[in-house]
Every structure is written in C-alpha cells, then in structure tokens.
Amino acid sequence: MGIAENLRAFSPSCEQEAADRDFILQRLASDPEVFDRTSPAHMACSIWTVNPTFTQTLLVYHNIYDSWSWIGGHADGQRDLVAVALRELAEETGVAHAKLVPCGPGNLLSCEVLTVDGHEKRGAYVSSHLHLNVTYLAVADPAEHVRIKVDENSGVRWVPLDDAVALSTEPWIRDRIYRKLIAKTRELAPRFAIS
C-alpha cells in the first residue's frame, strides 16, 4: 500500500492527528509535486527511535531549530517513506541497525503537519513551508556508535523519554508532538519492549 492508503487506514489518536491526516490526504490527492521539496507543502517523515526497553529516545541537536529534536527529513521524490526515515536515522546519527516497530498501517506511529519558518541552509535562504509528516517508530541499541552530521546537527544522545519534552525549545512540538509520541511509546511498550 502507498502512503495515502496507509493514512486512510490510520486511526488518529487525537484531534491534531485527525485534522492533519485529512490535510495530508488532500495534498496527496491534489498536488502532483507533493513528494518534492519545491512544493510549499511537501512530504517528510520522522523516526521516533527508542531503546529496546522503550524507556529512552534518541535525539539530535538540530542546528536550524536550535533545539534537541527527533530525527527526520524530506521525501525528495522518494515515495518509500520507511526507507527515507531509516536513511535519515543513519545519516543524522550513524545508527544503521534500527528495527521498525509494526505499530500501525504501513507502520505509521503518527502524522502531523509541521510548520517550518524561513531559514538559511548551506548559504541560501529557504522560504517558510509545511512538512506533511508521517512518523515511524524504531528500536535501536544504545550501544551502537552514534555521531553528528555537521551540516545538520551538533549533538546526538539518548535521553529518558520525558527529557524529550524538557529539552525541546519548540512549544508546539513539545506539547502537541513529543508528549503524544511519549504516550504512544508507553502504550506500545507492553507489546514490543524487551525487559
């Protein structure tokens, strides 16, 4: 199934997910360039990465957002967003052996429309735009070597789940996204965590 079919089968956990899922589906149906970052509202994905006991998450210190953040990136024409998410995890942190958790249609953990303020990237101005984001859940071994990706982040570290909220400087992300992801992680732990 493609991302539109997976989103149609996805059960939103809150009003934010229901509204954002409908908006993403509308953009998928109406914008043939939605997988390309030249579209002002384009597909992106994130990967919420936890340790095997589901008690810690992996964060990067994102240079543009100036905050500890989850991991993710642009589709850039690729329609296999699972592959994009796993690639972004490896590129941004060095973690190459994560395993996806089968937690929803197409392994979707959540969905969200994320605003991105205009910013400088590699010496060029990038206009404000929207990320039509889907999030996947992965498990990785905290013993696996991590490293920064100098052009995107300046730190990579494992933290207790609740620290994702405390370390974020982005109020909307902290309150609407990280709290939701932490709650979902704890709900899934009895099924997937290794004690």
Four-point Cα dihedral 51, 156, 44, 65, nearest 10:
130
pLDDT digits (tens, 9 = 90+) for 30-39: 999 999 999 9
Is a pLDDT exceeding 90 seen at residue 64? Answer: no
| Residue pair 52/193 in contact by the 8 Å Cβ criterion | yes
Site of tokens 């810690």: 56
**Is there a contact between 170 and 67 (Cβ–Cβ < 8 Å)?**
yes
Tens of pLDDT, residues 162-187: 999 999 999 999 999 999 999 999 99
pLDDT in tens, 141-154: 999 999 999 999 99
pLDDT at position 96 is: 97
Question: What is the pLDDT at residue 134?
Answer: 98
Query: Which pLDDT score is estimated for 174?
Result: 96
Residue 189, pLDDT score: 98
Helix (H) or strand (E) holding 55: none
Closest CA to 73 of 155, 149, 127: 149
Answer for the pair 37, 74: CB distance below 8 angstroms, yes or no. Answer: yes
CB distance 133 to 72 below 8 Å: yes
Average pLDDT across the chain, whole number: 95
Q: What is the pTM of this model?
A: 0.95
The residues near 124 (Cβ < 8 Å, ≥ 6 apart) are: none
Give the DSSP H/E element, type plus range, for residue 148.
none
Question: Does residue 125 surpass a pLDDT of 90?
Answer: no
pLDDT at residue 116, rounded to an integer: 85
